[in-house]
Chain A
Amino acid sequence: MAEFFQLYVAPVAWIIGGILAITVPLLLGVAYLTFAERKVIGWIQLRRGPNVVGPFGLLQPIADGLKLFLKETVIPASANRIVFVLAPMITFILALIAWAVIPFGEGLVLADINVGVLYLFAISSLGVYGIIMAGWASNSKYAFLGALRSAAQMVSYEVSIGFVIITVLLAVGSLNLSDIVMAQNGGILHWHFLPLLPMFIVFFISALAETNRAPFDLPEAEAELVSGYNVEYSSMTFAMFFLGEYANMILMSGMTVVLFLGGWLPPFDMHPFTIIPGPIWFVLKIMAVLFLFLWVRATFPRYRYDQLMRLGWKVFLPLSLVFVVLTAGFLLVFDLLPVAGGGK
C-alpha cells in the first residue's frame, strides 16, 4: 500500500497541485487582462474605462464573467451540435495545456521536456482547429467566412514563426525552454532580442497575427462579419472562446519573453535586481509585452486582407528565411555554434 502511494498517489497529487498552481493564476490573469485592456484603451482614448463595479472598477471582470455564466446557451437549430460544443472546449484546452512547458523560474516548470519549443509550436498550430470547427459547425455564412479567414491567416503566420524559432534555436543549440533562457544569462545585453532584433520584431508581429489581435483581427471584423467565427455562440461557450483567446495572448507573450527577453532572468546581473525572484521578473516581462499588444490595438487601423497575406508570405517569410541562413553562417564563420547537448 505504501508503495502504491509512493508510486502513483504522490506524483499524481504533485502534478495536479502544479497544474492548479499554473491554471488558477492564469485564469485570474486572463480576467484582469480584459480589464487592463479596457482601462489602457480608455486612457489612450482619453476615457476612464470601467470604473463603476468595485474600487477603480476592479470587480468588472468578475461581474462580466458572472453575467456570461448566467446567460442561456443557445445552440442554433441547424448547427452540428457535437462539433459546435466541442470547438470552444478545444480552443480553451489548447490555450491552457501549452503552459505545461513554460519555465517560470529555474526548475519551476511543470514538464521540463527536451522538445519544449516544438511542443509550444505544435500546440499553437492546433489553435486554428477551434476556430475553423466553430465556423463550420455554426452553419452560418458570417461564422464560416470568419473561420476561413482566420484559418488562412494563422497558417500563414505560423510559417514565419517557425523560422524565427529556428534562428533562436541555432543560437542556443537546444529545444529545451529552460536551456534557451539560461543561454541568455548575464544581463540585458545577452538577451536574444538585441542580436536577433529583426527576428524579434517579426516574431512579435506574427504573434499579433497568430492570436488574431488588432491590427490583424480580421476574423472578428465586426463591421463586415458581424463578429466572425463566434457569432452564433452565447453564454459560457462564448466565454470559453474569449478566455482561450486572451490566454493565447498571454502565452504568446510568454513565448516572446522566453525566446527573446531572457525569461526569468533579471535585466542586470547585479545586486538590487537579483533580489527579486525569477517568477516575478517573468511576470513583469510578460506584462510589458502584453501592454505592447494593447497599445498596438489602440493605435493601428485594421489591415486589409490581401495586404495581410502579402505581409506574411512576401515580406516575413523571405526575411526570416534569409535570417536563418545569415545567423547560421555568422555562427559558423565566427565559430560561435553552440556545443552539441545544450548551453553555450
Chain B
Amino acid sequence: MMVQAIAFYVFAGVTIASAAMVIGSRNPVHSVLFLILAFFNSAGLFVLMGAEFLAMTLVIVYVGAVAVLFLFVVMMLDINFVKLRQGFLQYLPIGGLIGLVLIVELLMVVSGWVVSPAGLKTAAINSQAIDGVSNTLALGRLIYTEYVYLFQASGLILLIAMLGAIVLTLRQREGVKRQRITDQLDRKPEDSVEIIDVKTGSGV
C-alpha cells in the first residue's frame, strides 16, 4: 500500500505542478509540453484507480492526437515575446477581477458540496473487484447496453461538430489544378517517350 501512496502523491503532485506551469511558463510551446505532462500523470492516476482502459484512452486520445495538433499549431505561431509581456500591467486589474470572481464561485460551489455516505463506501472499490471482469469488458457492457442511446448521441454530436468544422473552413476555389492519380498511373511509356534515330550532325 505504501508504494501506491507514494505513486499517488508523485502523480498528483506532478499533475498539479505541470498544470500550474501550463499557465505559468512564458513560452507557449513549453505550456503545451507541460499540458502533455499533466495528461500523462492523470493517466497514471487512472492506472492507480484500476481504470487502465481509461488511462490508455486518455493517453491515446489526448496525448497522442489532441496535444499533437495543439503543438503543431502553437509551434507555427509567430510570437513576439517582448510584445507579449508589454500589456501585462494593463490587463492585470481586469484579469485579477475575473480570477477573483471565479475563485468566489468555486468556493461557493465546493463549500456546499458533500459526498454522500453511500458513495464514500463504494469509492475505494474499483471495477475489477466487483465481479472479476476486466474494466474494458465492464465499460463495454455498460456503454453498449444500458447507455447505448447516450453513447450513440454523443457520437452524433461529435460527428456534427466535425462536419461543422469542415463546413466552416472549406473553401471552394476556382481554377485549382488537381492531379488525378488514375490518369497518372494509366500513363504508359509509349504516351510520353518517343525514340528518334538522330543522324550525327543533323539534329532532330
Contact = CB atoms under 8 A, between A and B. Distances in A.
B64 A122 contact: yes
A83 interface: yes
A151 B33 contact: no
A214 interface: no
A122 B69 CA distance: 16
Given A125-B60, A125-B65, A136 B136 contact: no
Given A115-B136, A132-B75, A340-B137, A126 B64 contact: yes
Interface of A: 8, 80, 83, 113-115, 118-119, 121-122, 125-126, 128-129, 132-133, 136, 144, 148, 151, 155, 158, 175, 306-307, 310, 340-341
Contacts of B179: 306
Given A114-B136, A151-B72, A158-B64, A136 B29 contact: yes
A119 B137 contact: no
Task: Give the secondary structure class of B's interface.
Answer: helix
Interface of B: 3, 27, 29-30, 33, 36, 52-53, 56-57, 59-60, 63-65, 68-69, 71-72, 75-76, 133-137, 179, 181
6 contacts: A113-B52, A118-B53, A121-B64, A122-B56, A129-B68, A341-B137
Given A83-B33, A113-B52, A133-B33, A118 B60 contact: yes
A118 B56 contact: yes
A124 B33 CA distance: 18
A151 B57 contact: no
B33 A128 contact: no
A175 B65 contact: no
A63 B19 CA distance: 45
Given A119-B56, A136-B29, A341-B137, A126 B72 contact: no
Contacts of B71: 129, 132
Contact of B60 (A121, A151, A307): A121
A114 B53 CA distance: 9
A155 B53 contact: no
Contacts of B75: 132, 136, 144
A126 B33 contact: no
A158 B68 CA distance: 13
Nearest to B128: A114
A341 B57 CA distance: 20
B137 to A, nearest CB: 6
Nearest to A314: B181
Contacts of A83: 29-30, 33
Nearest to B140: A340
B3 A114 contact: no
Contacts of A119: 56
B29 to A, nearest CB: 6
* Max count, chain A CB within 10 A of own CB: residue among B3, B30, B36, B64: B64
Contacts of B56: 115, 118-119, 121-122
A152 to B, nearest CB: 8
Contacts of B135: 114
A126 B59 contact: yes
A340 to B, nearest CB: 6
A128 B59 contact: no
